[in-house]
Amino acid sequence: MKTSIGAEKFILWIRNEKIADNATTRVIGRMIFRVINEYGGKLTVKSQPCIWTNFEVQKFKVDKYGLPKTATLYELEIKSIELVYKKIFNHFSH
């Protein structure tokens, strides 16, 4: 079974976990793209506007070291989502 997930979900999680504070959203986005492709996901929308809550915007600015203005949407097997999170975490937590 497949689902759609936006890169902004991964980026928000990374910012909340404080595992890539010095990485720009562009660098993180490229890593997300590589990992999702590795697990058989595919890009469905290249750039869609992100909608953030006031709380998220206050906690993390919408800028290159915070949250993105736009993000890529992917289609991915549900069973692969946890693996993607783990691989991204391992990459940035060194």
Helices (H) and strands (E) in the chain, counts: 4, 3
Q: What is the pLDDT of residue 23?
A: 94
Domain-by-domain residue ranges, the chain? 2-92
Task: Tell me the C-alpha distance between 58 and 67, whole Å.
Answer: 11
Per residue in 26-78, pLDDT (tens digit) is 999 999 999 999 999 999 999 999 999 999 999 999 999 999 999 999 999 99
Whether the predicted pLDDT of 94 surpasses 80: no
